[in-house]
Amino acid sequence: MIRWAMLTCVTCSLLGVGCGTVQTDDYAVYRHAPEASTLVQEPVAVVFTNPEGIEFRGVASHDDSVESANILYSGAGGAGGVAAQIALHATMVQGAQDRKLEKLREQANQVLQPLSEEVEALQGMDLSTLSVDGKFSVKPRRSDIEVESTHIETYPIFYVTEDLSSLSVKNVLILRSPGDPQTPPVYQNLVEVVSDRSIGASTKKELLGKGLEVVLKELYQVSVLVALDDMKDRLQADNQQPETFRHDVGGDLRIERGVTVKESCSNVVVRNLRGWLISLPKPDTECVDTFADGSLQKG
């Protein structure tokens, strides 16, 4: 019994090293402590933590499945030898998965080539222009805020579909107790916002950059405003049962399971099974909504 216990402990320990997946930067484990609603007082400072600043990527597949041959482990080395072989095999599989995901990302990023000039220009934009009066103020650097002050960290990544028909943002937002950056987040989540505005290649070149900037600002502002609503407990599911949401993204059908937490005439905010918040446009709507910058947009 002791020998089997040792084998289990050694195997689990080695697997913890061998099977540690690479943490993606567009992923967050949902955390929401009760004190989040009292900590956030609008307007709140928002700090960019993405070292790339404004970062664009193509929409890539997350399928990391790889073929793995059946392995017959040798017992000649005892329990430790078997555990080491299992860990080595797991490491090899994980390496193959990481290489596949990296290749998929590189292929997806090729879609940015027609937008290279516009993307480069936007990467040099003044991030403070993303602020919303009375709600939040964007600070490009940590040095722009006081350490003891309450602030939100954001790590946004903007995604362009292969046919250049749609832009979206995945924004990881984190709120910690003031003055103690080592403590677990009081609030942490991923907010995704999908635009229904076309940025297709058919758009005139001289208008493409400006249009891209307008959509980018809207997406970012909405993502922060949605997170602020969530921190303040304004996005409740009211004991709803999860349902299926279908949405076309660049010609591909996207399916999400979740519950509606907010709805307007032009979009719906869904909390999926991971706790993430996703704002999806409603198709073929005729309505007028107020956007983050106060402007009116007909849907």
The string of pLDDT tens digits covering residues 15-57 is 444 444 444 788 999 999 999 999 988 899 999 999 888 998 8
What is the token pair recorded at 169? 């943002």
Are 45 and 149 in contact, with CB atoms under 8 Å apart? yes
pLDDT for residue 2: 44
Q: What is the pLDDT of residues 183-208, one digit of tens each?
A: 789 999 999 999 876 665 555 555 56
CB 60 within 8 A of CB 108: yes
* One-letter amino acid of 289: D
Write down the pTM of the prediction: 0.74
What is the structure's pLDDT at 124? 87
**In this predicted structure, what is the pLDDT of residue 188?**
97
Peptide bond before residue 43 is cis, with ω within 30 degrees of 0: yes
What is the pLDDT at residue 277? 97
In contact, 247 and 53? CB cutoff 8 Å: no
Question: What pLDDT is recorded for position 26?
Answer: 87
Q: Which 3 state secondary structure label does DSSP give 120?
A: helix
Q: Is the dihedral of CA 289, 227, 27, 254 positive or negative?
A: negative
Pick out the chain residues at pLDDT < 50. 1-23, 61-66, 97, 100-101, 104, 291-293, 295-299
What is residue 286's predicted lDDT score, i.e. its pLDDT? 63
Contact of 105 with 60, CB cutoff 8 Å: yes
